[in-house]
Structure 1
Amino acid sequence: MSDSLSEIPASTLAGIERANASGRTPVVFIHGLWLLPSSWDRWVSLFETAGYAPLSPGWPDDPDTVEEATAHPEVFANKTVGQVADHYATVIARLQHQPAVIGHSFGGLLAQIIAGRGLSAATVAIDAAPFRGVLPLPISALRSSFPVLGNPANRHRAVPLTYEQFRYAFANAVSEEEARQLHETYAVPAPGAPLFQAATANFNPWTEAKADTENPDRGPLLVVSGERDHTVPHAISAAAYKRQQRNTGVTEFAEIAGRGHSLTIDAGWREVADTALAFVNRFVK
């Protein structure tokens, strides 16, 4: 993608301007599939109070609200990992200070791609989708992605999750009542393309779903895993951590006990956010 104003929404440009004017270190939050930037709202408040300049840019063409996303799912279709990574790189290029980058799920993969390009001062990848070289494929991960991967035509579509699918993939570690509330509050359709890219990454040398784990400019990296995550089980996060340990920079791993894929948005979000904040505080100010 070229660096043009038309590709960055006005709300994101305003966030960049505020971050630059503040003189504070920026923190860029990257959401994953089936969520919007609003999923980071509480994290943004926490990091702002901690003295950072947080911003949560959307993926290209992200609607502002869940209602808009539900009404116009077609805007999500055909977004690829490479396109979205380039979009975030364009946003980061406009910041006056190198940011910390925090991502969840496919946002965690994107955060590692950004770090591999040397664009991040410190990175936290939470229940991150796998990149090329991460080999485990647990049954629960396959089941979680089946609503998309089960139909090859979904590569070019936006696919929503039913409540039952969301309950298994995201909200298995919370109560039924909270799971329904999370689905209603946060869940939106998602592009199918990134899931197909991740699923075939180890068979495609030219895949966009890859991260430069050996770049000496990668910076400190924390891999966070939810113990009960169905979508990105421990085996996937541990394998990503092992690959990232090839880097000369600090590479750490944290497992959050009893938590599923919804760990950034459910009632226990603060424990995860505090873990990320403590890591960022050690390396970025």
Structure 2
Amino acid sequence: MKQQDILLIHGTWGHGYEWDNFGSELTKRGYRVHAPSWRAHGHPREIDIWGTAEEVSQLGLLDFVDDFVHLVNTMDTPPIIVGHSAGGLLAQLVAARARHSGIALLAPAPGAGIFAFYPSALQLWGQFVPHWALGTPMYPVKKDKWEKYICNTTPHELSDQ
């Protein structure tokens, strides 16, 4: 019997290593885990996340979806697709285009037509509206905003990982 593949998709400005602990537990339970970083993304110790912002600005969601669909097509089994935050949105788009055994969404980013323009979202994402409109690079959120709006319930020593 083949091992069941699982595809773990991280969120915005993240990287595949964020899934290490979770992926290790899944591996112990007999799953084959795939946790790649999105194109032009990676751990800050390995890539220049500020330097790749220009490259990322030239990519759209469907570019990342295409990358994941290609990966899914190389797997031995239709994967269970797990996505977190923006990775949850990507997971849904991948699932619509590729064979899979199921999908799990962890706090997925809202898709088109879903109201998500709350004051806290505006405080975090409002600074990027001009970048979206002009198609210019969006640099990662500053550490203080990251901890206040994204990792607000995570201990500080874990929010750096």
* Structure 2 contact 73–98 (Cα < 8 Å) conserved: no
Structure 2 distance, partners of 1:82, 1:168, is: 29
What are the equivalent positions in structure 2 for 1:1-285 lying under 5 Å apart? Answer: 23-63=2-42, 65-67=43-45, 68-70=47-49, 72-74=51-53, 75-152=55-132, 155-174=135-154, 178-179=155-156, 181-183=157-159, 185-186=160-161
Q: d(CA) in 1 for partners of 2:24 and 2:84?
A: 17
Determine the C-alpha separation between the residues in 1 that align with 2:17 and 2:89.
Answer: 19
Three-state SS of the structure 1 residue aligned to 2:135 is: helix
Letter in 2 for 1:130: P
Are 1:29 and 1:103, in contact at CA under 8 Å, matched by a contact in 2?
Answer: yes
Could you tell me the TM-score, scaled by structure 1's length? 0.51
Question: Aligned-pair distance for 1:32?
Answer: 0.9
Counterpart Cα distance in 2 of 1:95 and 1:118: 11
Among all aligned residue pairs of Structure 1 and Structure 2, give the percentage whose two residues are the same amino acid.
21
Unmatched segments (≥5 aa) in structure 1: 1-21, 187-285
CA distance in 2 between partners of 1:135 and 1:160 (Å): 23
Note if contact 2:13-2:41 (Cα within 8 Å) is conserved in structure 1: no
Count the aligned residue pairs: 159
Change (3 A) 1:157 1:117: same
Q: Secondary structure at the match of 2:105?
A: strand
- 2:92–2:103 Cα contact (<8 Å) kept: yes
Deviation (angstroms), 1:42: 0.7
- TM (norm. structure 2) is 0.86
Contact 1:147 1:161 in 2 (8 A): no
Question: For the structure 1 residues 111 and 164, does the alpha-carbon distance in structure 2 shift closer, same or farther, using more than 3 Å as the test?
Answer: same
Report if aligned partners of 1:144, 1:169 keep a CA contact under 8 Å in 2: yes
Give the whole-Å Cα distance in 2 for the aligned partners of 1:141 and 1:119. Answer: 33
Instruction: Name the SS for the 1:69 alignment partner.
Output: coil
Amino acid at match of 1:52: Y
1:71-94 per-position Cα deviation (integer Å, ceiling 9, x unaligned) = 633343322111101110010011
Matching residue's letter, 1:66 = P
In structure 1, C-alpha distance between the alignment counterparts of 2:73 and 2:58, rounded to whole Å: 24
Structure 2 counterpart SS, 1:45 = helix
Larger radius of gyration: 1
Gaps of 5+ in 2: none
Instruction: Give the direction of change, closer, same or farther, for the CA distance of 1:144–1:90 in structure 2 (3 Å limit).
Output: same
Q: CA deviation at 1:150?
A: 4.9
**Runs of 4+ with deviation above 6 angstroms:** none
Provide the C-alpha distance between the structure 1 equivalents of 2:48 and 2:158, rounded to a whole number of angstroms.
Answer: 16
